Amino acid sequence: MFSADRSTLTIGTTILAAQLAAMIATGFANLFTSLFQASGLGLTATVVSTTQGVGMWLAYRNAIERGLAGGEPGRAGAALDLAS
């Protein structure tokens, strides 16, 4: 279940950082989507939701690809040291 493999830790760290960064934007998008739905503005809610999804993908795809392709051994080593 747990692994000390540095490449696995690097990938996991990259994905976790992307999820944490996206959490704030997702919260605001969900708030506005809910407000528009409650106001009967379904089309506007759909536009906000779609824009948020596409925008997050465009904003983070290069960073995720860089992190998954090469990783940063220094960050992975530091995280392993903290976990030990």
End-to-end CA distance of the chain: 16
Residues 29 and 37: their CA atoms lie apart, in Å, by: 12
In a domain, 69, yes or no: yes
Residues 15 and 66: their CA atoms lie apart, in Å, by: 11
The DSSP code for 40 is T
In a domain, 1, yes or no: no
Which of the pair, 20 or 75, is modelled with greater confidence? 20
Give tens-digit pLDDT for 48-78. 888 888 887 887 777 767 766 666 666 667 7
In a domain, 53, yes or no: yes
Q: Is the pTM for the entire model greater than 0.85? A: no
Structural domain for 64, as ranges: 7-81
Q: How many domains does the chain have?
A: 1
In a domain, 65, yes or no: yes
Give the other-Cβ count within 10 Å of 59's Cβ: 13
Residues 51 and 55: their CA atoms lie apart, in Å, by: 6
